[in-house]
Amino acid sequence: MSLITVLQYAAWFYLPNHATRWLLGYLHVVYERLTGRPRPAAGTPQYVFHYRMTYLFCATVYLLFGLYKAATTVEPNYYELLGLAPTADEGMVKAAFRQFARKYHPDRVGPQGEAFFIEIRDAYESLKSPTKRFAYERFGPDALKWKQCTTLRDCLHHGLLQATGFYLVSLSSLIFFSFLNSSPVSFWRYIMLAFTAIYELLFILKSTPGPASTTTISSVLFTDPATGVHTSFLTFFWPQRVAYQHILFLHNLWVLGCFALSNIVPIVFPAPPPELQEMLVLKEATQIATLSQMLSRETQALLNTLYHSVHGPRTGTSPSTGTFPYLGPLPSGTGGAPPDAIVRLLAPELEHLILEAQMRDNGPLQSACEHAVERRRRKEDAAGRAGRSMARANGLAAHATWQNGGAVQGVPARRIGYVRGRSRSLG
């Protein structure tokens, strides 16, 4: 990180405040001329509102400037130097280097172009090797110096180990500053860091662009790793850049976001002063105490009402004729507790109340009871059908016996014989 970048981040603690005070003076002059009213005095609610809005404007402008610097100061990659797209194959890389060599070889342009030619030659040597190209696209030019990494697996393992360094330092810094000064935006810093890590991991693990997949999922943030055309906002704005350049921009974006949140949120959404915080805590504690007392009184009234409901001849006490829900405290037994007879009579009633409540709230008890009733009903229906079938069978058997001349209980036997007579058709 250069000194200019450090000063740019350090300016967050001075530049927005200074620019706000300077701009607010001019805005109040315009306010007086347009409205004919005097400018609001310092410390008044109107002045505080004007200051917050002006500070928000200045901080937003400075944040956009930081994003612009982070986006435009990225060094060009080897594809851009060769005039190729990141999806170029080995043949296209070789053809581009030959065309470049014919035009910019030191024998043609002189010694002054030797350094630039060597840089492009190194780019070509890196891009024609699949392993070096894989490591370069994800971890930058430093990955070309990893002599111990000979396979894609070695490059990926070594690169991920180096990538964790940024997050270990960032996480340690967040924890340290959280202990020094607790801020309501600390949580959002951790969330931003987590999203940065996830997005960086997606860029690192993204496979080399190839034939388009058949997936229909599309997202603004995430891309299909098997396609050469990406839909994320980074590759949409900078399609010629590779993964390590996007990762560097993500790191700058996270740092800028932390500084912006730390400076904008306390001004635009200030915390109440300590005196007001104490008053709010005291007010909440008073409300809780009042609610507790009301709950205690309502509970005592309910218990006394239930105790009174079982008074009468069954307990040997005189029944109350009052019609109010609360009839006053009951006579206490030993140690101030209710009489044992009242408790023994009240316990079954409370059990019934609990069971009724469980039956009404569509809970598991109601479901179990409904299933038991349904099973009993089906069993009774089956028994009724079996009884009717048996009665029908007995009736059929008795009828057959009677038809054959047998005796059936309560019915005389039928006499079988011929009936003497003449058919009318025979005359």
Quote the pLDDT of residue 324.
46
How many angstroms separate the CA atoms of 291 and 303, rounded?
Answer: 18
Given a cut of 50, the residues of the chain with pLDDT beneath it are 210-231, 314-315, 323-327, 408, 411, 413-427
Quote the pLDDT of residue 331.
56
Q: ∠ CA 121-125-127 to the nearest 5 degrees? A: 115
Q: 19-75: per-residue pLDDT in tens?
A: 998 998 888 888 888 888 888 888 888 888 899 999 999 999 999 998 898 888 888
CB proximity list for 308: less than 8 A, separation 6 or greater:
320, 327, 330
Q: 182-221: per-residue pLDDT in tens?
A: 777 888 889 999 999 999 998 888 765 543 434 443 344 4
Distances 123 to 80, 83, 99, 216, 223 between C-alpha atoms, Å: 10, 12, 14, 36, 27
Locate 105 and state its tokens.
Answer: 């070889």
HSE-CB at 311 with a 13 A cutoff on CA atoms is: 20
- Cβ atoms of 117 and 104 within 8 Å: the answer is yes
Locate 188 and state its tokens.
Answer: 């959002």
Locate 372 and state its tokens.
Answer: 């038991």
Quote the pLDDT of residue 57.
92
Report the 3 state secondary structure along the chain: CCHHHHHHHHHHHCHHHHHHHHHHHHHHHHHHHHHCCCCCCCCCHHHHHHHHHHHHHHHHHHHHHHHHHHHHCCCCCHHHHHCCCCCCCHHHHHHHHHHHHHHHCHHHHCHHHHHHHHHHHHHHHHHCCHHHHHHHHHHCHHHHHCCCCCCHHHHHHHHHHHHHHHHHHHHHHHHHHHHHCCCCCHHHHHHHHHHHHHHHHHHHHCCCCCCCCCCCCCCCCCCCCCCCCCCCHHHHHCCCCCHHHHHHHHHHHHHHHHHHHHHHHHHHCCCCCHHHHHHHHHHHHHHHHHHHHHHHHHHHHHHHHHHHHCCCHHHCCCCCCCCCCCCCCCCCCHHHCCCHHHHHHHHHHHHHHHHHHHHHCCCHHHHHHHHHHHHHHHHHHHHHHHHHHHHHHHHHHHHHHHHCCCCECCECCCCCCCCCCCCHHHC
Quote the pLDDT of residue 2.
64
Quote the pLDDT of residue 192.
92
Q: Which residue pairs, CB below 8 angstroms and at least 24 apart, start in 309-312? A: 309/349, 310/342, 310/345, 310/346, 310/349, 311/342
How many angstroms separate the CA atoms of 75 and 81, rounded?
Answer: 10
The four Cα atoms 178, 182, 188, 190 give a dihedral, to 10 degrees, of 20
Quote the pLDDT of residue 89.
85
Quote the pLDDT of residue 288.
92
How many angstroms separate the CA atoms of 261 and 184, rounded?
Answer: 10
Q: Which of 328, 330, 349, 350 is nearest to 339 (CA)?
A: 330
